Amino acid sequence: MNLKKFGWNEFFEEGFIQYKGQGYKVGRIALEHKKMYRILTEYGELLGEVSGKFRFQAAERGDYPAVGDWVVISARPEEQKATIHAVLPRKSKFSRKVAGQTTEEQIVASNVDTIFLVNALNADFNVRRIERYILSAWESGANPVIVLSKADLCEDIEEKIAEVETVAFGIPILPISAEKNIGLDQLAPYVYEGQTVALLGSAGVGKSTLTNTLIGHQKQQVKEIREGDDRGRHTTTHRELIVLDQGGILIDTPGMRELQLWEADEGLSQSFSDIESLAEQCKFRDCRHKKEPGCAVQQAISDGTLDMDRYNSYVKLQKELAYIERKENQRAALAEKAKWKQVSNNQKKIKY
Ligand SMILES: Nc1nc2c(ncn2[C@@H]2O[C@H](COP(=O)(O)OP(=O)(O)OP(=O)(O)O)[C@@H](O)[C@H]2O)c(=O)[nH]1
Ligand SMILES: [Mg+2]
Ligand SMILES: [Zn+2]
């Protein structure tokens, strides 16, 4: 059985070496539902749960298997079941901060080679949103490709592409229509055997419609968007990994409500490389690009080489990152405190 069609390669082989010769097998997580996992294996699909030891050792949500992960399993093919013992090192992961009071990492998809950032060419089209998606995509370790969907609804495609180009340096921009079968051949260089492509984007942009078109039948449910604002309804509720007959692996995901960033420092500099290199030319090293003399960033804004909106999103993102970092530190401090409390409790116990 060839695991390559599920995306297996030398990278994962390397991670599996330490488990070899102990009767373990590997599988790839296709779907998660309440800590039960559908796993693609050499025996076909098995239903798996993590072992007791795994659960005991897992500290955070991000330690648990996510869709796209390769896991080490003991398989019980007669029962179509498996026990998960470990998650193999991830090649890439697209995560976001879970909405709520605490900062927790939620992995949307892992071991993704290419991210299709799907944006519809209708009234919901928004370059600033695309800019933020690109940032998270870079940070994931996968390569972003911008898919402009519903091209059949747009009369100024070239104009829209030009707009996207101002925020997407060197990233392919592909206008398509899954419904009218336009431009789909442009996706071929990304979708082939062994390659994993995740579809990300807001609700209703046509991720599942594109998935169905590539599968060749209506597997994923799709639903009409609202009239008026062209927004979607969150039709897809689960992330799901789908292996295409013609080769290639897709991960269809639910539309994102809010795209919260996660440790995006690295992504930030890749995505805003123009602003970062301007900043290096500022007179003062600690220039805050406000009213300092000799500020190259302000200069670029005033002579029109740097778009004000683009600069504003850069500032906004930096603020957001700083906020997340503060929360992270807070959480680390609390964990540290709890640990010391435990230690001193243990010492008390020893004393008496
Ligand atoms: N005109 C046109 N409509 C499309 C196209 N692709 C998708 N749609 C329509 O857009 C609506 C939403 O499509 P979905 O595929 O459900 O969108 P989604 O991104 O999967 O949405 P969520 O699962 O909610 O995140 C449906 O009514 C589709 O028929 C297209 O290429 N052209
Ligand atoms: Mg969908
Ligand atoms: Zn400056």
For the chain, what are the domain ranges? 3-89, 109-219+237-257, 267-350
Report yes or no: 289 and 298 within 8 Å, Cβ to Cβ. yes
Q: Ligand 1 atom 32: the closest Cα is on which residue?
A: 150
Q: Where are the beta strands (DSSP E) in 201-317?
A: 240-243, 249-252
Q: In whole angstroms, give the CA distance from residue 343 to residue 352.
A: 15
* In contact, 50 and 39? CB cutoff 8 Å: no
Please check if 154 is assigned to a binding site. no
Ligand 1 binding site (Cβ under 6 Å of any ligand atom) = 149-150, 152-153, 177-179, 203-209, 222-225, 232-236, 254-255
CA of 156 to the centre of ligand 3 (A): 36
Binding residue per annotation — 295? yes
In the reported structure, the alpha carbon of residue 285 is separated from the centroid of ligand 3 by a whole-number distance in angstroms of 8
Q: What is the pLDDT of residue 263?
A: 46
Question: Is residue 201 a known part of a binding site?
Answer: yes
Domain 109-219+237-257, CATH homologous superfamily name and number: P-loop containing nucleotide triphosphate hydrolases (3.40.50.300)
Q: Are 40 and 241 in contact, with CB atoms under 8 Å apart?
A: yes
Mean pLDDT, residues 76-80 taken together: 95
- CATH architecture label of 267-350: Orthogonal Bundle (1.10)
For the stretch 276-302, pLDDT in tens is 888 889 998 888 888 889 999 999 999
Which tens digits make up the pLDDT trace of 213-248? 999 888 888 888 777 667 777 777 788 999 999 999
Ligand nearest, relative to CA of residue 297 = 3
- What does pLDDT average to over the chain? 86
Question: Would the annotation count 243 as a binding residue?
Answer: no
- Of 328 and 317, more confident: 317
**Which whole number is the average pLDDT over 161-186?**
93
Topology (CATH) of 3-89:
OB fold (Dihydrolipoamide Acetyltransferase, E2P) (2.40.50)
**Residue 7 exposed, middle or buried by CB count within 10 Å (0-12, 13-18, 19+):** buried
Contact predicate 143/114, CB 8 Å: yes
Q: Is the pTM of this model over 0.85?
A: no
